[in-house]
Amino acid sequence: MESSLLFVIFMAIVQGIAEFLPISSSGHLAVLGRLFSFNAETNATLNIVLHAGTLLAIIFYYFKELIKILTRYDFDLIGKLAIATIPLGIIGVIVKFMAWDESIFNNLFVPGIGFLITATVLLWGQKSKNEKTLDKLTFKQSILIGIAQAIAVFPGISRAGSTISAGLKCGLEKADAARFSFLLAIPAIGGVVLVKMFLLLKNTKPTLHSLSISHLAIGFIVSAIIGYFSLRLLLKILQRGDFKYFAWYLIFLGLTTLSWAIVNACA
């Protein structure tokens, strides 16, 4: 399928919504990429650019807090974020070494199973007492949240859902669980985006795997704008209720995706 601006905008809207709601943006992009016949390389490229847009949304939303953390030299929180990023770095190297980073986006079984895993994690995370503030989070618990983030490298497993649920299981208050999750996303998403963008900039051709630079730029802007408002929405949802409705949606989506994958495998 030839890339179109409308399709890129549609994917950007999906990314902006799904990155912050606990339903896995990468899983949705992988399924939609397959549905619209994007090849694995094209889908991975678009995925990175749209993630960069939602990264900008996080930085913009937490900008004042980030300045406060840096100017006050909050080494305790910085250290916890740093140590929680290590598991993702390890998994990222393994995925790259095994050359899974593009092929997994073209395998429907991966997001299908991932959606079901996320649903289970969301239901698991709700059954916890949430009385601990972020300054009481231990470094050991930070690593556990980091492991939850590392597992979410696979499409279908929500980074936000996994890390927030892990934070809740560690006893963090809902607001602090979300806060740590999205602050943690900055080095996580930022690191991946920087590496991928470096590789993309080495390509001197006017197009990038059938996606024009102008279309990618528009997708970046749309995902940033939609992502900002989705982030605000998630924080309100987290305070008012739980994630069970998202879990039921993911169970339905996961079973549907797996059924599609099985039909394709048997065809």
Residue in the block written with tokens 């979410």: 152
Average pLDDT over every residue of 135-141: 93
Residue 127 pLDDT > 60: yes
Lowest-confidence pick of 83-92, 114-123, 211-220: 211-220
Residue 57 pLDDT > 80: yes
Average pLDDT over every residue of 171-200: 86
Q: How confident is the model at residue 207 (pLDDT cuts 50, 70, 90)?
A: very low
Mean pLDDT score of the chain = 86
Output the pLDDT for position 206: 43
Condensed to tens digits (0 to 9), the pLDDT of residues 74-98 reads 899 999 999 999 999 898 888 877 7
How far is the C-alpha of 155 from the C-alpha of 100, rounded, in Å? Answer: 11
- This prediction has a pTM of 0.86
Output the pLDDT for position 5: 82
How far is the C-alpha of 189 from the C-alpha of 229, rounded, in Å? Answer: 18
Residues of the chain with pLDDT > 70, as a percent, come to 88
Q: How confident is the model at residue 204 (pLDDT cuts 50, 70, 90)?
A: very low
Helices marked H in the chain:
5-18, 25-35, 40-61, 63-71, 75-97, 109-126, 139-151, 159-169, 174-201, 213-240, 244-266
Considering only CA atoms, which of 11, 75, 81, 78 is closest in space to residue 43? Answer: 11
CB atoms under 10 Å from CB of 202, counted, come to 7
For residues 151 and 126, the model is more confident at 151
Domain boundaries, the chain: 5-266
| 3-class secondary structure, 98 | coil
Residue in the block written with tokens 């095994």: 98
Cβ 261 vs Cβ 109: under 8 Å: yes
Write the DSSP string, 181-233: HHHHHHHHHHHHHHHHHHHHHT--SSEETTEEHHHHHHHHHHHHHHHHHHHHH
Tokens encoding 157 = 């497993």
Q: How confident is the model at residue 99 (pLDDT cuts 50, 70, 90)?
A: low
Residue 18 pLDDT > 80: yes
Report which listed range, 44-48, 58-62, 94-98, 130-134, is most confident.
58-62
